[in-house]
A and B are shown apart, each in its own frame.
Chain A
């Protein structure tokens, strides 16, 4: 592999907290080595990978640069960690660069992120100068010598200043929901976005009225990653036992942060309705309560609503608990995603991939994942969610069919190989 094809940027590992006693109890299966294309061929068929190679051969040595703001933590870094090596394996010279910035810069971009998703923006105007100064410093540090430059998210968006005239092809890949942005932040950012050759969004609902072409690319999951790969039944059983869940009664699970938008209180209420008819358990697995004041508050509300019900299991996991999440999803009878607002539910795709029947809210991008009565069931209320869960628990054959069709849906549309294919197709289109 040439230097230009080297995938991972130079970074340091974050400090990892000691696992709890419960986490120490079971030895996790060893993580597999980095996946190669032939590993995916075993899963998807040789023909699919041959097709990808045929597509990639059209790139004829054109080089690609990906830029984002972090090398680990968060969905974008996770995705780049996986797709950059695969694109390199397709003999497309690719480099991944990460911008640097101090604490102040990242506090500003965090506020940008929230504001662009609809929150208020309360930082002083100097924050815009700091944002631009950090982008400029990175512009001097990074080398923009590739045919394609793909800039991910708002943090490095002003790097477009590095473009010489109309040279190369510059794409802004926006992973966040821009449907109702704070106007102050968006009006600041938009002139930079307008100078790209195109913008890519995860859902048509996230797009803005822009003077440049807008493209669509669904987020993907990696079927070979710890969060999604096949697990030994013993490991799954061990995780279930560790969290004191009864494997002999139906398990309803929602995996999400303790965030109001995910409506965990609504999930508890739906479970309480179901429980009147069917003896079942609820698992709320997620994180975000320990380092987020609102998360703490939401968790307190969940606990209050749950009361002393021993069949409600609130599992607050650290962000690296991929195998545990995987095991809990695989052990579930029904997976719930009762979000009040959701761009694209990666946890929904994860459940579909694991052939689990899903009951989800008909909001945002979820109806494209859960096609009602085909790949899961949609609901619009607590009562509706409860009804759909009861229906699935009472009709296991239908639940199984939905799970199997959901798996095919994920396989066809939401896996990493499809994502690589979409990236290459977009770049080929820009070459025209």
Chain B
């Protein structure tokens, strides 16, 4: 068992910065992906999923949405949308894959690569402000109570963006449940929850349900 101690509930709030990069064609999207900041990749992938968590049918990231809505290129949009952020524990790898997908499409479809989009994509980035919520859990019951009214941003912070902090294919809840309470199976089941097909509220309900089964088997 590790010395993690009680689970500390926290959250993150973001300042969104407008960068100087934009894209009006797929070629420009490719260049933007190659050179924008990591914070920009984060904003348009991890953070946008949190902002749009209530969409469970096909919304994945801003790049896919722009390619579909403003460039009318559904095949490329599908490929970009299929990039699952849970597979990434660092932004470098995520950027590499997004760039590769756009580059391959532009190479295969050179005429489309320079066609003007209906609307420009502006690369933005975020600066994170982490805030402890002043709540902690030492037992499964306390964990359940804390989770029940956790705000969406905090859920996103612990459940989705945590993998970038941990550099692991998991989340804060599962790490704590495994290391502090020794509940590996519960942690594994929580890890399996699909954040693309569950809203944050539905994911919370699923976690609470799994916890309840442990508390009252």
Contacts and interface: CB of A to CB of B under 8 A. Distances in A.
Interface of A: 45-48, 50-51, 54-55, 58, 201, 204-205, 207, 209, 213-217, 362-363, 367, 371-375, 378, 380, 405, 408-409, 412-413, 421-422, 424-426, 428-429
A413 B17 contact: no
Contacts of B52: 371, 374, 409, 412
B13 interface: yes
Interface in B121-135: 122, 124, 127, 129, 131-134
A204 B18 contact: yes
13 contacts: A50-B151, A51-B154, A54-B11, A54-B133, A55-B11, A58-B131, A204-B124, A209-B20, A214-B18, A216-B18, A362-B118, A408-B54, A421-B13
Contacts of A55: 11, 13, 129, 131
A319 to B, nearest CB: 30
B153 A51 contact: yes
Given A363-B119, A372-B69, A207 B18 contact: yes
Given A51-B154, A362-B70, A371-B59, A429 B54 contact: no
Contacts of A425: 13-15, 129
A428 B11 CA distance: 15
A216 B17 contact: yes
Interface in B12-27: 13-18, 20, 22
In the A-B complex, the 5 residue pairs with the closest CB atoms? A204-B122, A408-B54, A47-B149, A216-B16, A47-B151
A412 B13 contact: no
B54 A405 contact: yes
B119 A412 contact: no
Given A46-B149, A372-B69, A429-B127, A380 B18 contact: no
A38 to B, nearest CB: 14
Nearest to A204: B122
Contacts of A429: 15, 127, 129
Interface residues of B, number: 39
Interface in B46-90: 51-55, 57-59, 65, 68-70
A338 to B, nearest CB: 15
A337 to B, nearest CB: 15
B134 to A, nearest CB: 6
Contacts of A363: 119
B69 A362 contact: yes
Contacts of B132: 54
B211 interface: no
Nearest to A408: B54
Nearest to B122: A204
B116 interface: no
Given A362-B118, A374-B59, A429-B129, A215 B15 contact: yes
Contacts of B152: 48, 412
Contacts of B120: 205
Given A50-B149, A51-B153, 13 more contacts: A45-B151, A46-B149, A205-B122, A213-B17, A216-B16, A216-B124, A362-B70, A362-B118, A362-B119, A371-B59, A371-B65, A425-B13, A429-B127
B186 interface: no
A428 B153 CA distance: 17
Contacts of A421: 13
B193 interface: no
A99 to B, nearest CB: 27
Interface string B93-135: 0000000000000000000000000111010100101011110
Nearest to B43: A216
Nearest to B68: A372
A428 B129 contact: yes
Best-surrounded residue of A47, A58, A374 (most CB of chain B within 10 A): A47
A408 B134 CA distance: 27
Contacts of B16: 215-217, 422
Given A54-B132, A216-B124, A362-B69, A409 B18 contact: no
A429 B129 CA distance: 7
A380 B119 CA distance: 11
B164 interface: no
A220 B92 CA distance: 34
B150 interface: yes
A180 to B, nearest CB: 13
A214 B17 contact: yes
A425 B131 CA distance: 10
B153 to A, nearest CB: 7
Given A45-B149, A214-B17, A412-B53, A54 B134 contact: yes
A306 to B, nearest CB: 29
Contact of B55 (A47, A204, A209, A371): A371
Contacts of A46: 149
A405 B54 CA distance: 7
B58 to A, nearest CB: 8
A51 B133 contact: yes
Contacts of B153: 51
B72 to A, nearest CB: 10
Contacts of B54: 405, 408-409, 412
